[in-house]
Structure 1
Amino acid sequence: MGDFIRALWRAHRGLAAAWWILLLAQAILPAAFAYTTGALISATEPTTPLIGLATVFLLMQILAPLHAQVGTNLGDHLSSRLQDRLITAATGPAGIAHLESTALAGELAVARDFDLGISGPPLALSMGMIAGSLVEALAGAGQAILLATYHWWAGATLAVAWLATHWLLKDAGVWHRDTEEVQYAQRRAEYTYRLAVDPPAGKEIRLFGLSDWTVRQFVHNRRKLVDLRWQATKLRQRGVGWTLALLTAANGVVFWTLAMDTTGLGQKATYAQAAIGTAALAFGGLNWALPPAIEAVRAALRLDRSMAEVGGLPTGSRMPTGTDLRFRNVRFSYPNADKPVLDGLDLTIPAGTSLAVVGLNGAGKTTLVKLICRLYDPTGGTVEADGADLKTLDLDHWRSKVTAVFQDFIRYQLPLRDNVAPTGASEEDIRTSLNATEAEFTGLDTVLSKGYDDGTDLSGGQWQRIALARALCAVRQGAGIVVLDEPTAQLDIKGETEAFTRFLEQTRGCTTILVSHRFGTVRQADRICVLDNGKVAELGTHDELMAANGKYRTMFDLQAARFRND
């Protein structure tokens, strides 16, 4: 609860202060209404108490919607702050292990869910529900205090009786949201929801007639999530029986005493209303909307720490002086993996040369690329640049010397110039890089998305040329190591060969590492490395490896045979 209150204050101090002030004001008004009603009944001159009663009534009508609006705005600010916190937690760590962690994926799904409306109301709505329950609880306490001015034991008796319902019926509201089973169900529900509403799956869903199937999957996953929570909610008949007996006895004693008392009608009206209003203690307090809100805050704080721990990488202070790379007995395993991806890898990549990396799926090609970019650190051995362990180098400076085109490169919904140079570059560098890849473009300020006015979209091949231009622009800005992980998979064979030939010409003098399945492109590299079982199985030029009649020759002949047959 403390984390939640502090989060409200940090989200917007002015709105948080107004929210609490209005909450307290609304809590006082029911007792004031009961008091002014009794005063009006007892008064010989009704003008003053009538004005007081009208004022209280008017405030009750005004403050409720005002409080709701303040709560909505405060919930929006809190939501924005939590989203900022989650984005910072996800993008802050230097590595990417936290983004590929199965354990953190479940926590992230729960943390993101607070504003999607899948498992609970968004915070903008929750704040109103939370406020309503707290107002009721405080209003009940206020009226119990008013009743205590009649007889101290009367206020105490009803307050204890109504508060006891929270303990007697506590098993009726058990809601387990943080179990592994619930987290998994929540992830599946969110996944099928995104499958239905996000564009990437839209084509196949419609082409293969999967609309009904998608709806059924979402309904199934959503229902399973609801059922898990329903199973965790219990209602015990014994608790209900004891509750009814206690409330009947407490209210019976108080109202019987009030009926037998000789006090005036106005006072009886006041205390009767106070006795009835004390019941709000049972219905107010920490309602069902508060735990999800508290959990959202805690999840954001927890992920901030856990993601930093899992995805963090140490950084040194040394500056890289060259681009000569060497892997010394490198081992690497992903969390919870059965066996290492790299197991004793030894490889040297001289500065200014090109190396192609080939191998079967799972051989460790992409992992090798991640280690060069220092998105991970090896679990054993060292990756060195000019003899210095990458861990001892300044991380930001090292990455400024590396540029890459990944197979799943980003397509920014931004102008063309920002797609080629996201961090900025001169117009000459941008145009030169685009021309070198023969990328077709119109204006540099054209947004590459049809979702914007005058925006446009590109084919897969055109997008890959933009990605290559992005890497070339980075080279022109000082990058000396170029990593290409299946960079031209959406180009035809001729286009890929021509693109890579031009790319090698533009990056002459750089250290280039190419991962590709197409041997027509691979053979252009200075040397070719064949990975197998996490080690270097073969290393040499195309001609040397063909003459060796090993794994490379087998893979090359199999691929070449397909094209000869065609």
Structure 2
Amino acid sequence: MTSSLAIRIKLLKLFPDAGYPITTLYAALLVISVLLPAATALATAAVVSRIEAHAGHPGAFSFAAPPLIFLAAALVGAQLVAAANWPVLDVAYSRINATHRERLALLALGTPTITELERPHVQDLIKAASAESTTWVEKTPADGALSQLQLIARYLGVAASALVVARFSWWLVPVIVVPAFVARAVGRREWLSHFRIWRRGIAENRQFRYWGNVATSPAEGKELRIFGLEDWLVARGQRHMRAHLDPTFASHHRVARSKWLIAILIFVPLAVAFTGVGLATAHGHGTLAAETVVLTSAWSVFAAIGGTYDAMAIEGATPVMEAYDELEQLLAARLHSSRSPAPAPAFFSTAAATATATAAPEHRPAPLVRFEGVGFAYPDSTRTILDALSFEIRPGELLAVVGLNGAGKSTMTKILAGLYEPTEGRVTADGVDIRDLGHAAWRRQLSIVFQDFVKYPLTARENVQLGASTGDTHAAQDVLESAARDSGLIDALDRLPLGWDTPLSKSREHGVDLSGGQWQQVVLARALFAVRTGARILVLDEPTAHLDVRTEFEVFQRLADAASEASVVLISHRLSTVRQADRIVLLDAGRIAESGSHDELIARGGRYAEMFAIQAERFVRGYQDVLEQGELP
């Protein structure tokens, strides 16, 4: 757990993120605002003193004109400073938080693999460090940083007001200042206690809000009514609400009771000050001006130091900073433990990729890829996913990888992409370990369609152009059209209101939602676009799961023809669509159980032949669209 002082120092170090001009301007506004009460007290005293000194004189008010003008300027200045403060504060707040979130994103993206990012603990840290506030107790780094600056300014204001009081009556300074700090300490203690109690109940609060959303959701509303779950839902929601709010209400009562003590700590010193100064003035031991300035400045001390928001802001920002620090240590350690890329062959260099960005892909042959005794197990797990896996992906070959759920197919794909690092063995491209090539250089040679592909809320054009392996997002229209045609997307494009420029999200103006099958066609087009712009290895992990068997076969045929210039790895549970592959490997328990062409494997009569027969029978019986790998015996 990071100390409170360390957290405060880290928060103060965030001010460069706001920019020095904005930080300086905001600090200046704060200083002016906290000094104005003291200046106002002095100006008021000067006005009263001038009027008192020239009482009965016909031009008494004329003698008070200079301090009166200063007083008016101070009052107007306070309003102007308050008006200027909010926009400057908003800019500083936005910049600090935006920079923090950008730093977090770069930290997460900086790891060459995703192994650490998949860990639940790391995901929890990312969520905590993102500082996305959903309740009043969740604060951002900007809340913590800016509140510290405000607190420093308020202390300066207290010092200024105390100096004004001391000028006229020094003995009142401890009478006013000490109770003011005691009152702040009491209020701070009670509010921090309340704050922490409320924060401990955030999980219950989220559950309560979740069940509240379920109660008003049309989708869940159908089942709630069919199964008669209305009373159950209300009872469950109320249980979470009471679990959160019962301790919170008890804390509220304690905070309310503490207000009496704070009121006494404020009232008694002010009463002593006001009474003492008033009596002294009445007996000729002071002036009306002195009484005025003491009364005004004494109240300013309590007003300046009384708030406790800074304590809650720092308390709320502390989990964010602690989560970021821990995340930085975990991911930075992972990054530093990664292998540094060795000088890569010319084929994999950035310069080569750039020079050939407009060259015909067929002049750049695919590399020979070898899995050499590759093993993999997740961190903190004893279960082996891949076990001494060895096979080849030959240049220009159409390779199919089949197997049941849990066989290791998706893990194999992630290792090929460098998203996982093998715990033993290695993957080579033309004899060079892909880790020595550098992740960026190696991934430019890959085009992969994952099962859990991303539906970006971009236009159709932008969604497809994301596949450009060379980073060229302005490729010729004929390349886009070719990729769309070969993926089967062209028919859907013709029906889009703005064609290629139609946003693929209802959340955007003129946007549309696509079906699952249409989205798969978009992703396939993206993968083919990557091949057209330089990728040499095309990996398709269950690329057509939302399509029926006949449509899948037609799309697969087009993909095989269109990607003839690259090595193609097809991962599919539908064996009918992989029979035309050059070679089929059956993955079982992280190892290659069988390998050969479709005819060779059928003739062998092994596990592949058994699986094919089962699927063929189910297809004839009409179950082709619901067949899943896990259903195979």
> Contact 1:72–1:124 (CA<8 Å) still a contact in 2?
no
Counterpart residue number, 1:429: 479
Matched, 1:48 2:94: no
Residues 320-356 of structure 1 show CA distances to partners (whole Å, capped at 9, x for unaligned) of 5552222222221223434122232222333322222
Counterpart for residue 25 of structure 1: 32
Q: Which residue of 2 aligns with 1:154?
A: 172
Specify every segment of 5 or more residues in structure 2 that has no aligned partner in the other structure, as ranges. Answer: 1-7, 55-62, 348-365, 623-633
1: CA distance, partners of 2:96 / 2:240: 28
Match of 2:573 in 1: 517
Q: 2: CA distance between counterparts of 1:353 and 1:215?
A: 59
Measure the CA separation in 1 of the matches of 2:222 and 2:99: 40
- Greater CA drift, 187-196 or 358-367: 187-196
SS of equivalent residue, structure 2 residue 427: strand
TM-score, length-scaled by structure 2: 0.76
Question: Alpha-carbon deviation of 1:418?
Answer: 2.2
TM-score for both structures, normalised by structure 1: 0.85
Q: Which amino acid aligns with 1:314?
A: R
Give the letter aligned to residue 368 of structure 1: M
Residues 263-310 of structure 1, C-alpha deviations (whole Å, 9 max, x = no match): 112202211222232223541363423443465466556645544444
Q: Secondary structure at the match of 1:360?
A: coil
> 1:336–1:137: structure 2 CA closer, same or farther, 3 Å change rule?
same
In the alignment, which residue of structure 2 is the partner of 1:459? 515
CA distance in 1, matches of 2:234, 2:15: 37
Q: Note closer, same or farther for the CA distance 1:202–1:176 as it changes in structure 2 (3 Å cut).
A: same
1:226 Cα deviation from its structure 2 partner: 7.1
State which of 289, 314, 320 in structure 1 corresponds to 2:313. 289
Give 3-state SS (helix, strand or coil) of 1:267's partner: helix
Structure 1 residue 370, shift from structure 2 partner = 0.3
Q: How far apart in 2 are the matches of 1:32 and 1:151?
A: 17
Per-residue CA deviations over 1:247-276 (Å, capped at 9, x if unaligned) read: 677657655653453111220221122223
Once residues 136 and 255 of structure 2 are traced to their aligned partners in structure 1, the CA distance between those partners, rounded to angstroms, is 28
Are the aligned partners of 1:71 and 1:127 in contact in 2 as well (CA < 8 Å)? no
Residue 69 (structure 1) aligned to one of 75, 80, 87? 87
Between the aligned partners of 2:208 and 2:400, the Cα distance in structure 1 is 39
Which letter maps to 2:377? Answer: S
Deviates more, 1:418-427 or 1:395-404: 418-427
What are the superposed Cα offsets for residues 14-72 of structure 1, whole Å, 9 maximum, x if unpaired? 22222111111110111122222222222233333322222222222222232123212
| Shift in Å, 1:377 | 0.9
Kindly state the Cα deviation for residue 369 of structure 1 after the two structures are TM-superposed: 0.3
* Contact 2:37–2:161 (8 Å) recurs in 1: yes
Q: 1:158 to 1:118 in 2, by over 3 A?
A: closer
The 1-side partners of 2:142 and 2:558 are apart by 54
Instruction: Out of 305-314 and 74-83, give the one that drifted further.
Output: 305-314
**Mapped contact 2:143–2:317 kept (Cα < 8 A):** no
Partner of 1:488: 544
1:314 counterpart (332, 339, 349): 339
Matched, 1:363 2:382: no
Relative to structure 1, the CA distance from residue 221 to residue 387 in structure 2 (aligned partners, 3 Å threshold; closer, same or farther) is: farther
**What residue in structure 1 maps to residue 99 of structure 2?**
81
- The total of aligned residue pairs comes to 562
Matched with 2:292 is 269
Give 3-state SS (helix, strand or coil) of 2:14's partner: helix
- Partner residue, 2:157: 139
Deviations 1:444-472 (A, max 9, x none): 33433344444444332222222222222
* Aligned equivalents of 2:287, 2:324: Cα separation in 1: 57
Q: Secondary structure at the match of 1:411?
A: coil
Q: 1:536 aligns with which of 588, 592, 598?
A: 592
How far apart, in 1, do the equivalents of 2:77 and 2:181 lie? 27
Tell me the alpha carbon deviations over residues 457-504 of structure 1, each in whole angstroms, 9 at most, x when there is no partner.
433222222222222222222222111111111111001111112211
* Equivalent residue for 2:389, pick from 338, 341, 345: 345
> Counterparts of 2:253 and 2:599 in 1: how far apart (Å)?
73
1:93-104 correspondence to structure 2 within 5 Å: 93-104=111-122
Q: Whole-Å Cα distance in 1 between the matches of residues 485 and 546 of structure 2? A: 19
* Structure 1: gaps spanning 5 or more residues: none
Residue among 96, 106, 110 paired with 2:124: 106
After superposition, the Cα gap between the structure-2 partners of 1:448 and 1:323, relative to the gap in structure 1 and judged at 3 Å, is: same
Match of 1:372 in 2: 416
Q: Does 1:333 align with 2:374?
A: no
2:46 is equivalent to residue 39 of structure 1: yes
Equivalent residue number for residue 92 of structure 1: 110
CA distance 1:472–1:128, change in 2 (3 Å): closer
The alpha carbon displacement at 1:172 in A equals: 2.2
Q: 1:168-224, CA deviations, whole angstroms, 9 ceiling, x for partnerless residues?
A: 565424469999x9699399669959988xxxx988446646998999988877886
Instruction: Give the Cα separation in 2 of the matches to 1:227 and 1:332.
Output: 49
1:15 aligns with 2:65: no
Pair 1:524–1:289, CA change in 2 (3 A)? same
Q: Would the aligned equivalents of 1:73 and 1:124 in 2 still touch at CA under 8 Å?
A: no
Task: Provide the C-alpha distance between the structure 2 equivalents of 1:115 and 1:78, rounded to a whole number of angstroms.
Answer: 15
Distance in 1, Cα, partners of 2:249 & 2:113: 39
Could you tell me whether the CA contact under 8 Å between 2:12 and 2:148 is conserved in 1?
Answer: no
More deviation, 167-176/217-226: 217-226
Say whether 1:418 aligns with 2:458: no
Alpha carbons of 1:271 and 1:184: their partners in 2 closer, same or farther (altered >3 Å)?
closer
Residues 309 and 182 (structure 1), Cα distance of their counterparts in 2 relative to 1, 3 Å cut: farther
Query: Which of 1 and 2 has greater Rg?
Result: 2
Q: Which amino acid aligns with 1:258?
A: V
| 1:165–1:537 CA distance, 2 compared to 1 (3 A) | farther
Deviation at 1:390, TM superposition (A): 1.4
